[in-house]
Amino acid sequence: MILTVTLNTALDLTYEVPALVPHTSHRVARSAERPGGKGVNVARVLAALGHETVVTGFAGGPTGDRLRELLAPLPRLTDALVRTEAATRRTLAVVDTGAGDTTQLNETGATVAPDEWTAFRARYTELLTGAAAVALCGSLPPGVHVGAYADLVRTARAAGVPVLLDTSGEPLRRGIAARPDLVKPNADELAGLTGSRDPRRATQDARRRGAHAVVTSLGPDGLLAATPDGLWRAAPPGPVHGNPTGAGDSAVAALLAGLVADAPWPDRLAHAVALSAATVASPVAGEYDPAVLADLLPKVRVTQETP
């Protein structure tokens, strides 16, 4: 199985409006409610791809209960979340269908108590014994120390489990020094880590800081990867309009699947770009249309670049 960790889970709400206009009232054309947080989205996509997945992290209060209710019927996905006294946060995505844009509103996560963190650490260590790979995803909620991901990376490495890290800021800086197998920042997160706005230079610099491989998201321009097999760029055939929420999480799911299968890097990157684009075309995060994925995959361009 593949384990995903979401320390800052969320109940995701998506509203569609014909046009988002500031300072006015809006009639919502369609709404959706989904279990969310980066690692939860990754797990949902992995399960849809046919992988047995386990979700751990935190959930609490009425929103946490609702999140778990939505997870329960999903096939190939096991809930191993740790309950908290504080309520799980909500996120709101407002999709402007006319402009093809999305506005995201994210609540701050609730504070995790020391005994809840201890309970999570015990569950995480136990779950690693049956994991083929683990993904550590998203922001840290209040109450969790800034070096938490670095500790979790080291625990996974000690257990012999490959680990992917997808976070930002100081947790990324400390986590990458713990030598994860793969790090997947976006261009802004990478610039914050390295101080460079040149994606080629910054991606290679990030790898030198400790990660075995670094895959940088370039938004609609695809992915740039610094790997032991060289520097690679993967690009979609053209722009895809829709809701970009969760597109990066779908890329992480594809990269995890490729890591477990030990697939060649061009195949991993092509699948990640195609799956990410197919997720943009879907109305809600953590979902994709298999027909769109099948159409996009052979059209992704993967090239090896000179370091």
Active site residues: 249
Structure tokens at 194: 């390295």
Identify the three-state secondary structure at position 56: strand
Residue 213: CB atoms within 10 A of its CB come to 23
Dihedral in degrees, nearest 10, Cα atoms 67, 72, 78, 84: 30
The closest of 239, 192, 240 to 216, measured between CA atoms, is: 192
Cα end-to-end distance, the chain, whole Å: 35
- Count of alpha carbons within 13 angstroms of residue 134, beta-carbon side: 27
Structure tokens at 150: 């670095």
Buried b (16+ CB within 10 A) or exposed e, 118-146: ebbeeebeebbeebebbbbbbbbbebbee
DSSP count for the chain of H helices, then E strands:
10, 15
Largest distance between two CA atoms of the chain: 55
